[in-house]
């Protein structure tokens, strides 16, 4: 143990809206199961962000109920039954607005931190 502990960001530090946005982004390329979503975020953040399972699944279910995702049972890569999540049209739109909002926020924070 301890091998993967580099730069762990506990889920509590992730603003909920941000986690939602990351999930939507993960699914933008195609359907994934929950584990896949976590792995994707982990890999794409260069191992910086580790998504806590305790937050991931409630978030997935919530997005599902809000109609931003759609869940379907299918076969996983190792041929097990797994629940796959797919972005809906509404989800795609939501992702767009979140992306804009995020970049505005990130640059704004950047300006503040860069100032003398």
Partner 1 sequence: MTWEDLRERFLRAAGLFTRDRRERELDEELAFHLAMKERSYVDGDGLTQKEAAMQAKRDFGNVSRWKELCRDVARWRLIEEFGRDLSLAARTLRKSPAFTLVALATLTLAIGANTAIFSLMNAIVLRPVPLPAANRLGMLRIQPDRFGYAFMYPLYKELEKQSSRIMEVFAFTGRDLQVRVPDGVERVSGQLVSGHYFSALGVQPTLGRWIGPNDDRRGAPDGAVVVVSDRFWRTRLGGDPHAVGRRLTINQISFTVAGVMPEGFRGMNRDQQPDVFVPFELEPLMDAPYDNISVGWHAWWFQVGMRLNGGVTLQQANAFLRAASSRIFDASLPPADFQFDGHKKKDLYLAAEPGAAGYSYLRLQFKKPLTVLMALVVLVLLIACLNLATLLMARAASRTREITTRFALGASRARLIRQLLTESLLLAACGTALGLLAAPALARLMVAAFTPRHDPLSPILDVSPDWTVFAFTAGVAILATALTGIAPALRSTGDGLRGSLQEGSATLRGAGRRKLWPRILMTAEVGLALVLVTGATLLAYSMVKLRQIPIGFEPQGLVYLPLELEKQSRQGPALTAVHREVVEEVRKLPGVAGVSLSMVVPLSGNWSTSSADTAKTKIDELWQNRVGPDYFQTMRTPFLEGRDVRWTDSTAPDTVAILNQAAAKQLFPGEDAVGQHFSLDGGKSQTEVIGVVGDAKYSNIRDAAPPTMYAPVMWDKEAKASYIVVIRASNPGAAQVSALISAAQAIIRRNVPDIPPPAAVTMEQTLAESLATERMMSALALFFGALALLITAIGLYGTLAYATERRTGEIGIRLALGAQPRNVISLVCGENGAIALAGCVVGIAGSVAASKLVASFLYGVSTRDPAVFGLAALVLLAVAAVASLAPAIRAARIDPLTAIRHE
DSSP summary character for residue 86: E
Tell me which of 9, 15, 43, 65 binds partner 1, using CB under 8 A. Answer: 65
Tell me which of 35, 43, 48, 110 binds partner 1, using CB under 8 A. Answer: 35
By CB under 8 A, tell whether 94 contacts partner 1: no
CB contact set of 69 (below 8 Å; sequence gap of 6+)? 23, 24, 27, 60, 63, 85, 86, 87, 88, 91
Tell me which of 17, 30, 54, 110 binds partner 1, using CB under 8 A. Answer: 54
Which one, of 98, 87, 94, lies nearest residue 29 by Cα? Answer: 87
Q: Which stretch binds partner 1 (CB under 8 A): 12-20, 21-29, 73-81, 97-105?
A: 73-81
Which one, of 44, 1, 46, lies nearest residue 21 by Cα? Answer: 44
Q: Binding residues for partner 1, per CB under 8 A?
A: 1, 3-4, 33-35, 39, 53-54, 57-58, 61-62, 64-65, 67, 70, 76, 78, 80-83, 88-90
């Amino acid at each position: 143990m301890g091998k993967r502990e580099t730069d762990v960001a506990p889920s509590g530090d992730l603003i909920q809206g941000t986690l939602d946005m990351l999930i939507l982004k993960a699914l933008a390329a195609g359907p994934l199961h929950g584990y896949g979503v976590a792995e994707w975020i982990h890999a794409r953040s260069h191992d910086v962000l580790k998504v806590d399972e305790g937050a991931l699944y409630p978030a997935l279910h919530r997005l599902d109920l809000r109609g931003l995702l759609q869940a379907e049972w299918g076969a996983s890569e190792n041929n097990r039954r797994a629940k796959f999540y797919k972005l809906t049209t509404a989800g795609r739109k939501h992702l767009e607005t979140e992306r804009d909002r995020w970049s505005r926020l990130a640059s704004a924070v950047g300006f503040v931190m860069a100032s003398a």
